[in-house]
C-alpha cells in the first residue's frame, strides 16, 4: 500500500473501512449453504423449550486466522492459537444448555476430541485377524465418549461447525452469523476467542502467483484489518452479549490492554489471558470488576473453561433479564 492509499484509509470512518474490506474480499465459496445451515440452526433453536423459554445461542470463535500473501496462496502470515480454548469452551457451553455455532480454523482442536491422540485415525484403531478394523482397547472409552457427545450435539442441532482459514473467510462468516443472530436478541452471545490477524494484504494489492525467491529482501506491505468488534456491537448484532479476549505475553500490560479493549469496542466483558498461563488462569474484566478465574487443580480433568463458562453464563442470564425490563 502506498502512502496516499494509507492516508485515504486512515481518513475513512470505520464503517467505510469495513465496507471496503468486504467489497474487496474474495467471495466465500459456499455462502449459500452456510446461510441455509445458519438459518435452519437458528430457527430450530429459537422455538421454546419445555419451560417456555427459548434456548440461548452462542457463537464461539476459535483458532487463528491466516493472512495470505499470494492470491493463489502458497505462503501466509499465521496467528497463534491451537483452538483448545474454543473447543473446550464449546463443550461447557453445550453442558450449560446453549446451542453453539463453532466458527473455527480448519484443522484446529475440535470439541469432544481433546482426549484423543494427535493422529486418532492411525493411533486409535487396529486391524483384526479378518482385516476389519476395531478400536484399540486403550482408547475404547475415549473414542466412544467423543463419538457419542459429538453425535448427540450435531444430530440434536445443538452444534453447528463452520470452518475458516483466512481472515477474509473469518470476517465474512462472522458477519453472516451476527446478522442471522439479530433475531435472537439478547439471548445471543459472542465469545470471540479466535486469534484474528491484525494486519493483512488487501486482495487487490496481492500478487496472483507464488512470490519468487531470489531477492535478498521481501517487501510486503501489510495493512491494518478494520476493527470489526466495534461494527459487530454497533451494527451487526447490537443486542447480543459480547465477550472478547485479550492475549499478551507481558503481564504488566495485560489488564490495561483488556480495559482499553472493553471501552474501545464496547464489549460486555473482556477475558484477559497471558500466553504461558492461559490454561490455568484468566481474568474477566467488566466495567464494574475484575474477576480472576482459576483452574481447579484438585481434579485432574478440570479446565479453567469450566468456571469461566459458569460465570459468563450467569452474567448472560442477568443481561437477558435486564434487557426485558
Instruction: Give the binding site for ligand 9Z3 (CB under 6 A).
Output: 81-85, 193, 195-196, 244-247, 273, 278
CB of 188 to ligand 9Z3, least distance (A): 18
Is the CB of 270 or the CB of 320 nearer to ligand 9Z3?
270
* Helical (H) or strand (E) element with 150: helix 140-155
Strand-pair category, 223-224 with 199-200: antiparallel
The string over 60-75, giving b where at least 16 C-beta atoms fall within 10 Å of a residue's C-beta and e elsewhere, is bbbbbbbbbbbeeeee
The kind and range of the H/E element at 285 are strand 281-285
The distance of closest approach from Cβ of residue 45 to ligand 9Z3 in the complex, given in angstroms and rounded to an integer, is: 25
Instruction: Retrieve residue 25's grid coordinates.
Output: 474480499
* Nearest to ligand 9Z3 of 207, 260 (CB atom): 260
Cell match 464449546: residue?
90
Q: How many CB atoms lie within 10 A of CB 49?
A: 10
**Residue number, 201 or 272, with CB nearest to ligand 9Z3:** 272
Q: CB of 161 within 8 A of CB of 154?
A: yes
Between 99 and 270, whose beta carbon lies closer to ligand 9Z3? 270
Cβ 103 to ligand 9Z3 shortest distance, Å: 13
In whole angstroms, how close is the CB of 195 to ligand 9Z3 at the nearest point? 4
Taking the C-alpha atoms of residue 43 and residue 183, their distance in angstroms, rounded to an integer, is 9
The dihedrals phi and psi of 107, each to the nearest 5 degrees, come to 85, 0
Using the minimum distance from each CB to ligand 9Z3, give the nearer residue, 139 or 245: 245
Minimum gap (Å) between residue 218 Cβ and ligand 9Z3? 24
For ligand 9Z3, the closer of residues 80 and 129 by Cβ is: 80
- Residue 246 CB, nearest distance to ligand 9Z3 (Å)? 4
Gyration radius of the chain's alpha carbons: 21
Amino acid at each position: 500500500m502506498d502512502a496516499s492509499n494509507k492516508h485515504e484509509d486512515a481518513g475513512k470512518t470505520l464503517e467505510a473501512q469495513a465496507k471496503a474490506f468486504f467489497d474487496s474480499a474474495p467471495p466465500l465459496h459456499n455462502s449459500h449453504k452456510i446461510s441455509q445451515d445458519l438459518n435452519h440452526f437458528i430457527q430450530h433453536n429459537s422455538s421454546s423449550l419445555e419451560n417456555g423459554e427459548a434456548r440461548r445461542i452462542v457463537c464461539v470463535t476459535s483458532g487463528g486466522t491466516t493472512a495470505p500473501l499470494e492470491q493463489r496462496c502458497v505462503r501466509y502470515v499465521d496467528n497463534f492459537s491451537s483452538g483448545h480454548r474454543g473447543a473446550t469452551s464449546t463443550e461447557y457451553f453445550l453442558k450449560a444448555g446453549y446451542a453453539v455455532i463453532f466458527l473455527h480454523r480448519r484443522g484446529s482442536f475440535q470439541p469432544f476430541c481433546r482426549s484423543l491422540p494427535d493422529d486418532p485415525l492411525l493411533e486409535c484403531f487396529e486391524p483384526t485377524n479378518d482385516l476389519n478394523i476395531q478400536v484399540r482397547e486403550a482408547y475404547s472409552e475415549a473414542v466412544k465418549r467423543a463419538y457419542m457427545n459429538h453425535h448427540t450435539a450435531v444430530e440434536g442441532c445443538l452444534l453447528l461447525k463452520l470452518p475458516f482459514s483466512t481472515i477474509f473467510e473469518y470476517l465474512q462468516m462472522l458477519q453472516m452469523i451476527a446478522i442471522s443472530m439479530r433475531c435472537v436478541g439478547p439471548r445471543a452471545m459472542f465469545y470471540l476467542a479466535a486469534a484474528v490477524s491484525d494486519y493483512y494484504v488487501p486482495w487487490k494489492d496481492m500478487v496472483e502467483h507464488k512470490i519468487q525467491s531470489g531477492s535478498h529482501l521481501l517487501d510486503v506491505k501489510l495493512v491494518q484489518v478494520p476493527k470489526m468488534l466495534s461494527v459487530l456491537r454497533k451494527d451487526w448484532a447490537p443486542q447480543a452479549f459480547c465477550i472478547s479476549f485479550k492475549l499478551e505475553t507481558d503481564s504488566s500490560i495485560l489488564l490495561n490492554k483488556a480495559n482499553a479493549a472493553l471501552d474501545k469496542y464496547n464489549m460486555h466483558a473482556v477475558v484477559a489471558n497471558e500466553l504461558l498461563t492461559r490454561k490455568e488462569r484468566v481474568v474477566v474484566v467488566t466495567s464494574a470488576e475484575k474477576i480472576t478465574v482459576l483452574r481447579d487443580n484438585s481434579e485432574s480433568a478440570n479446565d479453567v473453561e469450566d468456571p469461566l463458562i459458569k460465570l459468563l453464563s450467569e452474567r448472560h442470564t442477568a443481561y437477558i433479564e435486564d434487557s426485558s425490563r
